[in-house]
Amino acid sequence: MIGNPYEIFQALEDIRPVDRTFQRNMQEHLDRLIKPVGSLGRMERLACQIAGIQKTIKITVDPAITLVFAGDHGVSDEGVSPYPREVSAQMLNAYQRHWAAISVLARQAACQVEVVDVGVQGSWEPWGKDNTVVSRKIRAGTRNFVKEPAMTHEECLQALQVGMDKAGQAFQDGHRSILLGEIGIGNTTVAAALACALLQESPRIMTGHGSGVDHAGWERKVYVIDQALSRHLESDLDPFEMLTRLGGFEVAAMVGAILGAARLGVVVVLDGYITGVAALLAMRMAPDTVGYLVASHQSHEPGHRRVLGALGLRPLLEWDLRLGEASGAAMSLPLLRQTCAVATEMATFSQAGVSSSDGAEHEALPYPVKEPHPFSLPERMAVYRAIESRRDIRRFLPDPLPEGVLDRLLHAAHHAPSVGYSQPWDFIIVTDSEMKQRLKKLADRERQVQSLYFEDERSALYLKLKLEGIVEAPVVLVITADMERGGAEIIGRHTMEETTLYSVACAVENVWLAARAEGVAVGWVSLFEKRHLRHVLGMPANIEPVAVLCLGFTEHYPPEPQLKTVGWAEPESLTRLIHWQRWDGSTPQSNV
């Protein structure tokens, strides 16, 4: 078999972002179900993701299939694994007899398993009529990447093609989701080497104990990876070349399967570290691929957390797994099924005849109650407190946001008013340290330029404004405006085109107020030249960047706005800013 470069590169061109319209439709549907809005947390976010992938709110992940790709690695000659390469072939025999961990887990989850031998070192014999294990072997193991590239370009293309073919066959057979896994001796070493190359991290940070090496074995792995990186890494090495030099047949096949699934609109459930690295390679080849991925768990391998961060994915489980074989993916499948069932089987308020929160009773007020019903006194005070105590923060702690908080902030933003109900906002969530450093460099450069427009004292003060929050905050949220969303004719925008931007500004304020209520600090960084920001974040020409918000926690939450404290400006008197009936009208003419 020869890999078809045209088909592979065509797949990269064919991959499109998940459908935002169906994601919004799903969120609106979830908000109408008989539960408090947003009360199912990340389950709702997952349902919206699947709706965007499948372009329907009638979502399902069934039938599901588990694809496990098997291949051994020449680097195992360096003593990086406690197991000989013959173990992989022996495990293939166990898969045929349904004895392995994934065999049991998939059976419990009622999920088909197919194991694909793309590069196992030893031989195995078909067992009866069982077709769990199939051979698409390219070579009996890769070469030792300490001494030479692991694969040739042709071999890497073949492995990519195997993965794409398997994803395509799964789609033709009606499967709506693929659970991705691997097996192979030496593959955690390969994953760590690729992760170091992709994220420019040290082997000591990205390397774990794999299948159980002791400390001396771990030191050996780190040394071997260092040697390989020194030999193969060059500037501007593209992901395909990285994969060829440092990867493996099963890793390349998983990259192909991810690309093929994304091309066809199939949900991909990742397993652990090695599948995560394959996903990162796929994302570097086709950035929109990431929208089709679900991270089943965060493994025991230390580099996996950083890989998931670079992908922008949050794991469903954290059970310290380090087995592979798609075991974690199989464990998460019931969660995905429950997500789909809730989205498609729960009743709405109108269907069930249940009053929503809008019909809640309120305390007695000294005036007649009219629509809309007022909040209770504590609720009203909380709203005004959030408004008045909002602050713009510049320094952040590295602590992550608690689970569910970011989802709630985005939910608040998405419920902002918008002209003609166009909802023109999108949200770019940046958690990758490298990307945050790039954003900080942009802001630093623009601050230097803008400081020239101020006089000496103010220029010096301007240059002291802190920008470290961009890299310190665990999350940087970029909120944008789609100037074309809703078409040319939008109710309310005919005479004021800027209302699209005003709508997004409302979403920004919603995030800020919700963050204050959650105890989360926010810093708005506006020191960006739009075209540079658009380039770094890969934004289309019709998308306007509106706000770059740093989200996290801070050691000191100031009682007064920072610019007031340092003497930059004084607050205006509200009385001076109110005009009655017309501009500069000073006396109210009637009661309000």
Q: Which position has the token pair 């310290």?
A: 320
521-525 and 543-552 beta bridge pairing: antiparallel
Average pLDDT, the chain: 88
Report pLDDT digits (tens) over 132-141. Answer: 999 999 999 9
Query: Which spans in 56-209 are helix H?
Result: 86-96, 101-108, 153-172, 187-199, 203-206
Quick one: CA dihedral 76, 78, 82, 86, positive or negative?
positive
In the chain, ranges of CATH 3.40.109.10 domains? 377-573
Report pLDDT digits (tens) over 210-221. Answer: 777 888 888 988
Helix (H) or strand (E) holding 350: helix 349-352
Q: Which position has the token pair 């799903």?
A: 26
Taking the model in full, what pTM does it have? Answer: 0.62
- Please give the backbone phi and psi of residue 471, each rounded to the nearest 5 degrees, phi first: -95, -20
- Select the more confidently predicted residue: 486 or 318: 318
- Residue 459, number of CB atoms within 10 A of its CB: 14
Residues with active-site annotation: 325
The pLDDT, as a whole number, for residue 443 is 83
Instruction: Return the CATH class of domain 5-16+61-340.
Output: alpha beta
Largest CA distance in the chain: 94
Report pLDDT digits (tens) over 242-292. Answer: 999 999 999 999 999 999 999 999 999 999 999 999 999 999 999 999 999
484: nearest Cα among 413, 420, 531, 537: 420
- Residue 158, number of CB atoms within 10 A of its CB: 24
Q: How confident is the model at residue 361 (pLDDT cuts 50, 70, 90)?
A: very low
423 close to 24: Cβ distance less than 8 angstroms: yes
Q: How far is CA 478 from the centre of its chain?
A: 14
Cα–Cα distance, 365 to 591 (Å, whole number): 20
Question: Which residues are registered as beta bridge partners of 479?
Answer: 427, 547
210: nearest Cα among 202, 219, 201: 219
In the chain, ranges of CATH 3.40.50.10210 domains? 5-16+61-340
258 close to 279: Cβ distance less than 8 angstroms: yes
- Residue 129, number of CB atoms within 10 A of its CB: 5
Cα–Cα distance, 66 to 269 (Å, whole number): 9
Report pLDDT digits (tens) over 144-201. Answer: 999 999 999 999 999 999 999 999 999 999 999 999 999 999 999 999 999 999 999 9
Cα–Cα distance, 579 to 334 (Å, whole number): 60
Q: How confident is the model at residue 389 (pLDDT cuts 50, 70, 90)?
A: confident
Query: For residue 367, is pLDDT > 60?
Result: no
One-letter amino acid at 100 equals A
Q: How confident is the model at residue 3 (pLDDT cuts 50, 70, 90)?
A: low
Cα–Cα distance, 427 to 414 (Å, whole number): 10
Lowest mean pLDDT among 344-353, 458-467, 490-499: 458-467
Q: Which CATH architecture has domain 377-573?
A: 3-Layer(aba) Sandwich (3.40)
Q: What percent of the chain has pLDDT over 90?
A: 63
Q: Which two tokens stand for residue 335?
A: 């969660």
Cα–Cα distance, 177 to 171 (Å, whole number): 9
The pLDDT, as a whole number, for residue 325 is 93
